[in-house]
Amino acid sequence: MSKTQTVRVDRLLANMGYGSRREVQHLVHSGAVTLDGDAIEDADDRIAVTGDLSERMRIDGEPLDPPPGLILMLNKPLGVTCSHKEAGPLVYGLLPPRWRRRDPAISTIGRLDKETSGLLLMTDDGSLLHRIISPRNHVTKRYHVTLDRPLRGDEGDVFASGTLMLDNEDKPLLPVSMEVLSPTSAYVTLTEGRYHQVRRMFAAVGNHVVALHRDRMGALSLPDNLEPGAFRILTKAEIALILPER
């Protein structure tokens, strides 16, 4: 029989960024933390961390943030960096400030360049992160590419060949599929995630990427109604679209 993990209320809330252990103990004693409508009296009560906790628990009348084990998709805008520490705007700055104090921390699942937009997944679940980025699981990533110059015609074959060697690398790229949309735009779908891979692939065939946007991972597409800079938590069904075998 599988046991649901339980955790002390003060530890859960402190780890979710609601304050220090002492601050959340005060919060509980003030009656601000309720479960199924009743105030929790003891901060050292243990509760089960289940997926429905945000619907059952309120803090000052507001639903609890998503409990640990979350995965979200962000429509990454241009000009923000996938890093915890670089200068300038960071993707973490697009999350609510309290979420940036969580332990375990929320991290990006892979990275997009500062000047790449689109579908970026983030999670606090380390094992899920590794399953998605592991080359063994072959999660596909689709990019819409806009080019500086018209395609010359052989790029699809070169990318699909499995023999294209990028500068300063010692292993050829795994095959990449390409769908031409216009003389200067295409979709490319890859399973690897090498540094600046798409830009370097087109540089290798004498072109230059002027805009790059990721719109799909596995069978999960970035929804049209998710504005640049906005994010939302994924449902179980959406997670299954990324890793169908889960």
Q: Which is nearer to ligand URA, 164 or 212 (CB)?
A: 212
112 binds ligand URA (CB under 6 A): yes
Alpha helices in the chain (DSSP H): 9-15, 21-29, 53-56, 126-133, 155-160, 197-204, 236-242
C-alpha torsion sign, points 226, 230, 235, 239? positive
Query: CB neighbours of 45 closer than 8 A, spacing ≥ 6?
Result: 8, 9
Contacting ligand URA within 168-227 (CB under 6 A): 196-199, 212
Cα–Cα dist 175/196, whole Å? 16
Is 116 an interacting residue with respect to ligand URA (CB under 6 A)?
yes
Q: Applying CB under 6 A, what is the total number of residues that bind ligand URA?
A: 8
C-beta of 197: minimal distance to ligand URA in Å? 4
Which of 113, 166, 226, 241 touches ligand URA by CB under 6 A? 113
- Pick the closer one to ligand URA by CB: 198 or 220: 198
Backbone angles phi, psi at 211, to 5 degrees: -150, 140
**Would you count residue 15 as binding ligand URA (CB under 6 A)?**
no
CB of 73 to ligand URA, least distance (A): 16
Assess 83 for contact with ligand URA (CB under 6 A): no
Distances (CA, A) of 181 to 29, 160, 178, 186, 189: 61, 17, 9, 5, 13
Q: Which is nearer to ligand URA, 113 or 238 (CB)?
A: 113
DSSP E strands in 57-184: the ranges are 57-59, 62-63, 71-76, 107-108, 116-123, 141-147, 177-182
CB of 216 to ligand URA, least distance (A): 13
Q: By C-alpha distance, which of 190, 154, 149, 145 is closest to 172? A: 190
Name the residue nearer to ligand URA (CB basis): 14 or 209.
209
Catalytic choice (36, 52, 113, 215): 113
In the complex with ligand URA, the residue whose CB is nearer, 12 or 222, is 222
Tell me if residue 113 is catalytic: yes
The residues that are catalytic are: 113
Residues interacting with ligand URA, by CB under 6 A? 112-113, 116, 196-199, 212
